[in-house]
Structures are given as structure tokens and as C-alpha cells.
Amino acid sequence: MRVVITGIGAVTPLGVNLQETWEAVLKGKSGIALCSRIDTSSLPYKLAGEVNTERLKGFFTEKQLKRLDPFVQYAVVSAVEAVKDARTELPPDTAIIIGTSRAGVTFIEQALGSSRFSSYLMPATTANMACSQVAEELNLKGESMAVSAACASGAMALMEAYRLIRSGYAKVALAGASDAPITRLCLEGYGKTGVLSKQDTPEASRPFDRRRDGFVLSEGACIMVLEELERAEKRGARIYAEVLSAECLTSRSGQTRPDKEDEIEVMRRALVRANTEPGEIKLVNAHATSTQLGDRVEAEAITELFGEGVYVTANKSQTGHMLGASSALEIALSALSIHQGVIPPTINTTEPELKINILSEPLEAPVGKVLKNSFGFGGVNVAVVLGCRV
């Protein structure tokens, strides 16, 4: 079975839908600003990539807003948009695979600061609540699964959906991820690990730049419609890209330390599974969070496998790090790159430390195949290869 992406929905710091987000990406805009939801005066971490939640309130009733953690809200809005974008009616047995890194951390933090707990607390903060609410909203009853693999959660969700369809267990699937970690708990927690930027200007998210000092915490969701190629062609669907492979490898180098050889290995596995030579890859959409060690290791892995000529883009320069949702969004943006024939820019990287081929402006060019990297705490390494339908 061949699997294609036919619908995309997104809620990001760049916009509350796919069109706004994609237009902002191509214009080189940033979704990063001083954090408005948390008093950061006592913290060294001042920045965040925040969703404009005011624009989402009309989507939900007051009761729903009280019961649904933001990570669930973002997932529902993205899923509904993805289905509309796919221009199809989903079969009832559509699978739902949604990843998350921090699940209902917003409600957890609110509860810890309250004198009494809500009866909604435990259901609302469960990782699979996004799947459950999407199923309810879209009247679906197929297989559902919550995937949690740190920053690679979205890529893992796509991989599982891809395998379900390839193996015949589903003809259509919703896949992606959602995270809403803009909380004091996450700011201080990630800050203590030494991975957050301490700069106070939006340019702080600068992957591969010698001045980088950590990532900017962000939030959002991206959900995609995946379906069998035969079904998509039969209904005359617009196809963004074909999923050619998705591979995962677990490193044993520690909870947070990247491993160059493992990153190379997972990319090789994805290329082999996709029957693709390194020279056929036009663009690598990098994990590139803007940390000192992570970016250096990934850049070395990319250049060792592909050479210095392959184009590299780092979407987190514009969005910040949406945790598990980042990998889903970046897969979707890679699919759009293929569909529209454009390589997105990487902003803020004006003093590149390593020899990688990044662009400060979008480039219109045929993008036949893209490899997308997603790495996460706990040694998770995922590589996805997308291509044009042929």
C-alpha cells in the first residue's frame, strides 16, 4: 500500500490555521515574542512562541473551554481543518494517532495552584484525550492511539499511521501531535536541563548559528490526513506528498545527549526503506532546536551523509520548539515544500557555525524528495522521507 498526505491542519504561533502559518513561513516571519502568559521577571527565560488563543474561543463552548486542556483544543481545531483541507468525508473507522510530549500540563499546573481539584482534572490531562475529543468532534470510531516520544512524538504518530495503512488495518488516518507547554513548570523544568535560551529578543531561536544558546519554548498542533494512494486517486484528491518511509532508532547515549552515529543510521535506514540514494534528497528538514550540542551533532550527521550541497531548513527558527507538535508541523511543511516547489528559509542564522546549505530567503525550485529528522529526549531518533507522487 502506498500512503499519501491529502489534508493538513495547524495551530501555531505563526497562525491559527495552515494558510496563515505557511504564508508566515515563506515571508520569514517569527512567532516568538516575550512571554505574555507567565510572569518571567524572576526567570532568565523570557521568550515563548504563543498561540493566539483568543481566535480559537469561538470554536468551543464555555463548558468545553473549562474541560479541555489547551493541548486538546489545539488538536481538535487542527483535525477539523485537516479534514476540510482534504475535501473528503472520513469513513467511521478512520484511525486517529496523535502524539504529545507534555499532554495536559496546563491543567496540572493550574490544579497545583488551586485549593481544590476539578473533577475534570484527570480525564483532561490524559495523553489520549486529544484522540478522544477528535473522535467525538468528527464522529469517528476507528483505532486511536496517543504517542509520547518527547520532541519526536508527531513524527512517531505519523509513522504509526503510515504503518497502519501500509499493513491494511486502516484506509485513512488522522496523524499528528499537539502540545501546550507554556507554563512556569515547563519553563523552569526545561531551563534546569540547560536547553532554553536566555536571550530576550525573538532572534534567539537561531539554529546552527554560533550565537545560539538554547531553544525557545513554544506550543501548537498539526494534524494530517493520511490515506491509501488508490483511495486518494479514485476521489481525485489533491496530494501534497507521498510518505516513502518512516524509521525509528533508539540511542543509548543518555537521556538528553544526541548520538551522531545513531542519527546517521536512522537517516540511512529511512533512505533504504524509501529506495532512495542520498543524492536524491533535495532538502533536509532538520530537527535543529538551536541548542549548542544538538545542532552541532545534527549538522555533522547531515554533512557526513549528504555532503555540504543538500539544502537544509530549520523551521524552529520561526516557530520556536513546539515539543511533540514540532515534528508533525515540520513534516507538513516539508509536504508543502514538495507540493509547491519551494524551499523555506531559515531565519536568524546569520553566523553559521558549520558548513550547511541554509537559505535566508525562500527558493522556488523542484523539491522531489525531503528527509525530515526528529529527535527527542530518551534517545528517540526518527527520520521520515517524503516524495512527489509518481
Sketch the domain layout of the chain as residue ranges. 3-234, 244-387
Comparing 78-92, 177-191, 249-263, the range with the smallest average pLDDT is: 249-263
Residue whose cell numbers read 518512516: 246
Band (252; pLDDT cuts 50, 70, 90): confident
Residue 390: pLDDT over 70: no
Q: Which residue has the cell 541548542?
A: 291
- Tell me the fold of 3-234: Peroxisomal Thiolase; Chain A, domain 1 (3.40.47)
Q: How far from 262 is each of 195, 247, 265, 375, CA to CA, in Å?
A: 21, 12, 5, 10
Catalytic residues: 151, 287, 321
As a whole number of angstroms, the distance between CA 361 and CA 382 comes to 27
For the chain, strand residue ranges (E) read 3-11, 33-34, 47-48, 95-99, 144-147, 172-179, 220-228, 241-250, 283-285, 311-313, 342-343, 363-364, 369-376, 380-387
Cα gap 246→239, rounded to integer Å: 18
Phi–psi pair at 181, nearest 5 degrees:
-95, 15
- Bridge partners (DSSP) of residue 172 are 227
Main-chain dihedrals φ then ψ at residue 389, nearest 5 degrees: -70, 130
Percent of the chain whose pLDDT exceeds 90 = 93
CA-CA-CA-CA torsion for 231, 235, 236, 242, nearest 10 degrees?
Answer: -20
C-alpha distance from residue 65 to each of 73, 108, 169, 190, 238 (Å)? 8, 15, 34, 27, 34
Among 357, 279, 328, 373, which Cα is nearest to 98's?
Answer: 328
CATH code assigned to 244-387: 3.40.47.10
pLDDT at 74 over 90: yes
Pairing of strands 380-387, 369-376: antiparallel
Closest Cα to residue 373, out of 293, 315, 271, 286?
286
Residue 344 per-residue DSSP state:
P
DSSP single-letter state for residue 224 = E
Reported pTM? 0.97
Q: pLDDT tens for residues 180-235?
A: 999 999 999 999 999 999 999 999 999 999 999 999 999 999 999 999 999 999 99
Long-range contacts formed by 35-40: CB under 8 A, 24+ apart: 35/182, 35/187, 37/182, 38/182, 38/183, 38/184, 38/187, 40/187
Mean residue pLDDT across the chain:
96
* Encoded amino acid at 205, one letter: S
Identical topology for domains 3-234 and 244-387: yes
Instruction: Name the pLDDT band for 354 (thresholds 50, 70, 90).
Output: confident
Percent of the chain predicted with pLDDT > 70: 100
